[in-house]
Structure formats: C-alpha cells, structure tokens
Amino acid sequence: DQQVKQNSPSLSVQEGRISILNCDYTNSMFDYFLWYKKYPAEGPTFLISISSIKDKNEDGRFTVFLNKSAKHLSLHIVPSQPGDSAVYFCAASATQGGSEKLVFGKGTKLTVNP
C-alpha cells in the first residue's frame, strides 16, 4: 500500500516556464511534508517543507502548496532552469503521531530543456 504517490514518473518543461510536480497521500495522520531533489550518483537534497497548519510555503523559486482536504501537495518551480533537472521526491511524516518515519514517493524525473 503506497501511502505517498507521485503519479507522474517524468515531466519535461521549457526553461523559464513553470514546473509543477504533484504528490498525493493517503494517510490522514501525515502532518509534515518535504520535497527532496536528487541528482544522479548523489544523495537526496532537502528542498522545502510544509507543515499541515499551512497551505503554502515559499522559498525563492520554489513554492509548495498543500491541500489537506484533497490530500494533495504540489511543488512549483518558477522560472525553471536547466540545473533544476533532477529526480524530485515527495515525502511525508506523521510527527504528532509520534512516528518519525518518513515515507517517500517514487519520484518524478524533471527535465528542463534550454
């Protein structure tokens, strides 16, 4: 049973346009969400997070939106740059439940074309 789903295995966008990466979750106990970026042959790098008490968090070109009722979050990258090309993992944890487990989605490979 996959609790965190990234239904698009890949996404291709033009440089300068918006990249939107989507993530759905099924466990209503999740209250903290993170996005990681991974280049080949490197470990994941933390990008941005959001707590369930918020619906938006912005950091430079990266914005994460959370829709709790739909159990959906998205990562917006504006404007997209070729260096953003990587695999993006969505992850969730249930901190209030006392669980420190982070559940990852399968990732979406983003390609930003010059």
Partner 1 sequence: DTEVTQTPKHLVMGMTNKKSLKCEQHMGHRAMYWYKQKAKKPPELMFVYSYEKLSINESVPSRFSPECPNSSLLNLHLHALQPEDSALYLCASSQRLAGGPGFFGPGTRLTVL
- Phi and psi, residue 84, nearest 5°: -80, -10
Interacting residue with partner 1 among 53, 60, 69, 100 (CB under 8 A): 100
Site for partner 1, residues 27 to 66, rule: CB under 8 A: 32, 34, 36, 41-46, 49
* CA proximity to 56, closest of 69, 71, 73, 31: 73
List the structure tokens of 73.
Answer: 């979050």
Interacting residue with partner 1 among 52, 63, 93, 108 (CB under 8 A): 93
List the structure tokens of 68.
Answer: 């709790």
Q: Using the rule CB under 8 A, is 104 a contact of partner 1?
A: yes
Calculate the CA 74 to chain-centre distance. Answer: 6
* CA proximity to 35, closest of 84, 90, 106, 108: 90
Q: Are 21 and 36 in contact (CB under 8 A)?
A: no
Choice between 62 and 104, CB closer to partner 1: 104
Interacting residue with partner 1 among 30, 107, 110, 112 (CB under 8 A): 107
Choice between 12 and 14, CB closer to partner 1: 12
What is the binding site for partner 1 (CB under 8 A)?
Answer: 32, 34, 36, 41-46, 49, 89, 91, 93, 95, 100-102, 104-107
